[in-house]
Amino acid sequence: MSHAVRPERRIHIVQGEYKVTDDPDVVVSTLLGSCVAACIRDPSTGVGGMNHFLLPGEDGRSHDHEAERYGDYLMELLINGLMKQGAHRDRLEAKLFGGARMMGGLSDIGKKNAEFAERYLEHEGIAVIGKDLGGERGRRLQYWPVSGRARQAYVAPGGIDEKPLKPLLIRDVGDVELF
């Protein structure tokens, strides 16, 4: 009896998007600079997802076509999408990535995004079990929503930096594979 290996399906998301799935063969990927991606799952039901937001939320902003760029809107969509597929709010766990300071001299939107994401999840009672936020380099991120596995590579100015990372650059990453 032969065991066929099922092919992995890659779904790439960009700013303003999110994806929820319970398919163990799906990996969700994105490229982050100052943006933040929240990877959230319910380990008991095997449903998870990722979002990618450009700016933190703003009080008093209406949910119009511009809303899709904002963290508060995308966090709400991701959490509601998880619950619609059977996840339970009290079992959700999250990993956060991104929030780099990409340009000196300008306001540090990456830091604001990272602080927003952490504050939002704390307010919602969702445990952050791993994170890699800040720094000055972009990241390529892959997330397997069903297993919760995450893998990232830092992006150097000329592409992917293949030098080993210094341990001091890794901040509370939990179960994260760096490559």
Query: Letter for the amino acid at 19?
Result: K
CA–CA distance, 67 with 65 (Å, rounded to integer): 5
* Domains within the chain, CATH numbers bracketed: 9-178 (3.30.1330.200)
**Whole-prediction pTM:** 0.80
Contact by Cβ (8 Å): 109, 55: yes
Phi and psi angles of residue 99, each rounded to the nearest 5 degrees, phi first? 75, 30
Catalytic site residue from 20, 31, 35, 36: 35
Q: Does 39 qualify as catalytic in the annotation?
A: no
CA–CA distance, 5 with 28 (Å, rounded to integer): 19
Phi and psi angles of residue 42, each rounded to the nearest 5 degrees, phi first? -110, 105
Phi and psi angles of residue 124, each rounded to the nearest 5 degrees, phi first? -85, -5
- Model confidence pLDDT, tens digit, residues 80-131: 999 999 999 999 999 999 999 887 666 788 999 999 999 999 999 999 999 9
- Model confidence pLDDT, tens digit, residues 17-74: 999 999 999 999 999 999 999 999 999 999 999 999 887 665 444 444 444 457 788 9
